[in-house]
Homo-oligomer: A and B are copies of this chain.
Amino acid sequence: MLNLMEITESNKESLISELKGRVTETEQEIISSVNSILSRVKKDGDKALFELTKSFDKVELKTLEVSTFEIDECFNKVEKEFIEALEEAKANIKEYHEKQKSNGFLMTKDKGVYLGQRVLPLERVGVYVPGGTAAYPSSVLMNVIPAKVAGVDEIVMVTPPDKNGGINPYIGVAARIAGINKIYKVGGAQAVAALAYGTESIKKVDKIVGPGNIFVATAKKLVFGEVDIDMIAGPSEILVIADEKSNPCFVAADLMSQAEHDKLASSILITTSKELHKRVEMELERQVKTLEREEIIRTSLENFGSAIICRTIEECINISNSIAPEHLELMVDDPMKYLGMVRNAGSVFLGRYCPEPIGDYFGGTNHVLPTSGTARFFSPLSVDSFIKKSSFIYYSEEALMENGEKIITLASKEGLTAHANSVKVRLENGNV
């Protein structure tokens, strides 16, 4: 099912641009319709939210906020082993993200000068959580826990109500386990608008995170600047580097684990073994038939699946660095030996028993990762995503007297005499 390629400098480029080509421009029609939803919520607040929810979600709500009782009920509806697994995943994710916390600093210098940097949590964060069939409780943990660890005061969730005005019970459970302060039954562009501008029920936030459909993604792009947003995720990607000793059954399973997300998902095998590639193809055919999303997987692999044969693992990694995949599996012996060569990858899965879903659900690393080659310059969602930094500096009178002329020289050469003047007035009047 994979498109077999011999890599040269020229088709490496075309492979990379194909990956990026999967992201298409948002149609003007969608932008206009999202824009009109945004203005309506900005103007009419809750009233607009109730009306839009009636029209899109086919349900007439009386209140937006999910009650404590409703969340209690969610716990009665889901399996005990699900709750236990989620609690354990939470502990792993929290433990990992705690290590990401950074401290500010203070430097003291001669003549009483001091300067430094503070790390401050954002005050309010909104998390978008899709409802219906694309309800992913794991996403709730991945988006909320880093914000919690960062020290965000208030984390609210928005999620579309079902036709009975309820919410997905798995999402309700995940929200309480993650530590969400409030949940509102509202979805789509209208939910993003409520978080960005505030309404009577929903307070304006500083940042909106979480996945959503094209309307949600477009709304997030349009409110960016008014509030901060997370990355807009493109279709998922997995790149598996495997040697001749790799189990083709595992390799095939891992390639399909991302292919099932989306017909636009991309799964790439880079291997030193032609034999392995052949056996992986056989495994793909054998296993795909057993999977619920067979059709999506076939389409995705046929369009965006590739197999690349290299001479050495080092060469495999070089190609992977050019591609900068979201997920990279290093299915080799002693994988740590190669980690240092990996320059561009969102998250790296090491060894033969570390399939990518460990990172999606359980291991502790975040599953919100840069796609479409942006791992060249973007990072996974992390505690950093929920803090801001602020610098400060103190100069004593004595320190300004000593350094003032230099500052005046630099400002004057830039033609900024009012900048120079602010120092000058102090040098002149300093002793008045």
B419 pairs with A360, CB closer than 8 A: yes
Task: Kindly supply a per-residue 1/0 record for chain A positions 394-432, scoring 1 wherever the CB is within 8 Å of any chain B CB and 0 otherwise.
Answer: 111101100100110111011111111111111001101
CA distance A335 to B115 in the complex (A): 13
Does A278 reach chain B (CB closer than 8 Å)? no
- Nearest B-chain residue to A358, judged by Cβ: B395
Does A290 reach chain B (CB closer than 8 Å)? yes
Q: Which residues of B contact A100 (CB under 8 A)?
A: 105, 117
CA distance A421 to B356 in the complex (A): 11
Q: Is the interface of A mostly helix, strand, loop or mixed?
A: mixed
Q: Which residues of B contact A250 (CB under 8 A)?
A: 422, 425-426, 429
CA distance A376 to B253 in the complex (A): 44
Does A390 reach chain B (CB closer than 8 Å)? yes
- Nearest B-chain residue to A382, judged by Cβ: B389
- Nearest B-chain residue to A170, judged by Cβ: B413
CA distance A214 to B261 in the complex (A): 40
Task: Kindly supply a per-residue 1/0 record for chain A positions 357-378, scoring 1 wherever the CB is within 8 Å of any chain B CB and 0 otherwise.
Answer: 1111111111000001011111
- A91 to chain B: closest CB distance in Å? 11
Q: Within residues 201 to 260 of chain A, which ones have a CB less than 8 A from any CB in chain B?
A: 206-207, 225-228, 247, 249-250, 253-254, 256-257, 259-260
- A107 to chain B: closest CB distance in Å? 6
Q: Which residues of B contact A396 (CB under 8 A)?
A: 351, 353
Given contacts A85-B410, A343-B120, A365-B115, contact A380 B389 (CB under 8 A): yes
- A124 to chain B: closest CB distance in Å? 10
B351 pairs with A410, CB closer than 8 A: no
Interface size on A, residues (CB 8 A): 127
Given contacts A365-B115, A421-B290, contact A360 B390 (CB under 8 A): no
CA distance A54 to B35 in the complex (A): 40
- A344 to chain B: closest CB distance in Å? 8
Does A75 reach chain B (CB closer than 8 Å)? no
B137 pairs with A414, CB closer than 8 A: yes
Q: Within residues 334 to 354 of chain A, which ones have a CB less than 8 A from any CB in chain B?
A: 335-336, 339, 342-354
Q: Which residues of B contact A364 (CB under 8 A)?
A: 107, 115, 393
B260 pairs with A354, CB closer than 8 A: no
Q: Within residues 145 to 200 of chain A, which ones have a CB less than 8 A from any CB in chain B?
A: 170
A349 pairs with B96, CB closer than 8 A: no
Q: Which residues of B contact A15 (CB under 8 A)?
A: none
B357 pairs with A423, CB closer than 8 A: yes
Out of B358, B390, B393, name the residue touching A342 (CB < 8 Å): B390
- Nearest B-chain residue to A339, judged by Cβ: B392
CA distance A115 to B89 in the complex (A): 14
Does A388 reach chain B (CB closer than 8 Å)? yes
A253 pairs with B425, CB closer than 8 A: yes
B422 pairs with A254, CB closer than 8 A: yes
> Which of A81, A86, A356, A406 has the largest number of chain B CB atoms within 10 A?
A406
B414 pairs with A358, CB closer than 8 A: no
- A395 to chain B: closest CB distance in Å? 4
Identify which of A1-9, A291-299, A304-312 touches chain B: A291-299
CA distance A118 to B340 in the complex (A): 9
B425 pairs with A354, CB closer than 8 A: no
- A138 to chain B: closest CB distance in Å? 6
What 6 A-B pairs have minimum CB-CB distances, sorted nearest first?
A: A260-B418, A355-B422, A228-B377, A379-B389, A85-B406, A350-B394
A-B contact pairs, 14 of them (CB 8 A): A81-B406, A95-B107, A99-B116, A118-B339, A136-B414, A207-B377, A253-B424, A256-B421, A256-B422, A293-B418, A347-B390, A353-B395, A353-B426, A360-B419
Residues of A within 8 A of B (CB): 20, 23, 78-79, 81-82, 84-86, 88-89, 95-96, 99-100, 102, 105, 107, 113, 115-118, 120, 122-123, 133, 135-138, 170, 206-207, 225-228, 247, 249-250, 253-254, 256-257, 259-261, 287, 290-293, 297, 335-336, 339, 342-366, 372, 374-380, 382, 384, 388-397, 399-400, 403, 406-407, 409-411, 413-426, 429-430, 432
